[in-house]
Amino acid sequence: MKQTLPRLKYESKMGWALIFGRLIVGWLDTHAAEVADIDLIVGNPTSPDRRPQHLEAIMRAASDANRTGRWPIADPDKPVLTKTGTTTASAASGAAWQTKWTAAEQHAAAIEVGSAVNGASVLLIDDVFTTGAQMATVSRLLRQHGAREVRGLVLARAPWR
């Protein structure tokens, strides 16, 4: 993952999105009992100026891999979460905790919640968990919009430095 995620995010090797989408659906199938009560599955949105739109590509691939419709993956053509502006990058290696937290708060503040999540149990998917700041702030945003609960699923965890 340390080599392949950057290939998708920074080198636009889009084939990896297909693989990561299939991994998500495979994980859901393998852990069905743990996520049987999930009402909505959404991705943590990418900045609108970022190319590629890697998380959106992963979620589209997951939606396509969900052929039976077993999992409530948000329609990629009608995103529940949309990032409306550019914010400070939070992925800076070695950045201080407060810097990452501030960037995560800016990220969440730039997200528009496009459909009702009121009363829903939401599974929020992200690519890399470094400090948890983005997962926490976007989860809080979903709760403020009425989500009953928010759980997180990440493709990789960055090792603590």
The structure's pTM equals 0.91
Structure tokens belonging to residue 152: 């997180």
Kindly state the average pLDDT of the residues 76-83: 91
- Judge whether residue 151 has pLDDT over 90: yes
Mean pLDDT (the chain) is 89
- Judge whether residue 129 has pLDDT over 90: no
Which has the minimum average pLDDT: 81-85, 114-118, 139-143, 147-151?
114-118
User: How much is the pLDDT for 125?
Assistant: 97
Least Cα distance to 50 among 20, 78, 90 occurs for 90
User: How much is the pLDDT for 109?
Assistant: 93
Least Cα distance to 105 among 126, 134, 81, 82 occurs for 134
Cα dihedral across residues 66, 55, 43, 78: positive or negative? negative
User: How much is the pLDDT for 95?
Assistant: 66
- Judge whether residue 103 has pLDDT over 90: no
- Quote the radius of gyration of the chain (alpha carbons, Å): 15
- Judge whether residue 53 has pLDDT over 90: no
39-52 residues labelled b (16+ CB within 10 A) or e (exposed): ebbbbbbbeeeeeb
